[in-house]
């Protein structure tokens, strides 16, 4: 079972790096030149200027990657998509949220995560 989680974690790590590098998602950016700290847009679905197509795009992409959402078949569920990605990040040994750098009370809220280098996992 141990091996499964290690592999599973690697999967989200590589997937997320690919998404950040793609430039496809506004606000999903590297915070440093070493590409070890990144920012994820984290807008609440209840916000007035919330745009599902834009603000939930990354969460939707993760749900599709994991086979949990099929466009045109399943009912869109942005809050669940967001929860799934948050849980995957929290469960993975490859990331640490840098809580003091996250900004959730601004008009374009985001969370900041650090990628834990291979061999430095607890």
- What is the tens place of the pLDDT at every residue in 53-109? 999 999 999 999 999 999 999 999 999 999 999 999 999 999 999 999 999 999 999
Instruction: Please report which confidence band the pLDDT of residue 5 belongs to, taking 50, 70 and 90 as the band edges.
Output: very low
Half-sphere exposure of 105 (CA within 13 A, CB side): 2
Residue 114 pairs with which residues in a beta bridge? 37, 96
Residues 6+ apart with CB under 8 A from 45: 52, 55, 56, 78, 79, 82
Looking at residue 1, its pLDDT comes to 40
Kindly report, residue by residue over 25-61, the tens digit of the pLDDT: 999 999 999 999 999 999 988 888 899 899 999 999 9
What are the backbone dihedrals phi and psi of residue 39, each rounded to the nearest 5 degrees, phi first? -120, 135
Could you tell me the CATH number of the domain that includes residue 95? 1.10.10.10
Q: Please check whether residue 2 lies inside any domain of the structure.
A: no
Structural domain span for residue 61 = 12-115
Q: Please check whether residue 5 lies inside any domain of the structure.
A: no
Looking at residue 103, its pLDDT comes to 96
Looking at residue 14, its pLDDT comes to 95
């Amino acid at each position: 079972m141990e091996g499964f989680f290690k592999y599973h974690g690697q999967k989200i790590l590589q997937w997320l790096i690919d998404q950040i590098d793609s430039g496809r998602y506004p606000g999903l950016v590297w915070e440093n030149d070493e590409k070890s700290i990144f920012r994820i847009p984290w807008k609440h679905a209840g916000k007035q200027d919330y745009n599902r197509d834009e603000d939930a795009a990354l969460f939707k992409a993760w749900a599709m990657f994991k086979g949990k959402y099929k466009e045109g078949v399943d009912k869109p569920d942005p809050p669940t998509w967001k929860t799934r990605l948050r849980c995957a990040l929290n469960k993975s040994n490859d990331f640490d949220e840098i809580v003091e750098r996250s900004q959730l009370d601004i008009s374009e809220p985001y969370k900041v995560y650090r990628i834990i280098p291979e061999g430095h996992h607890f």
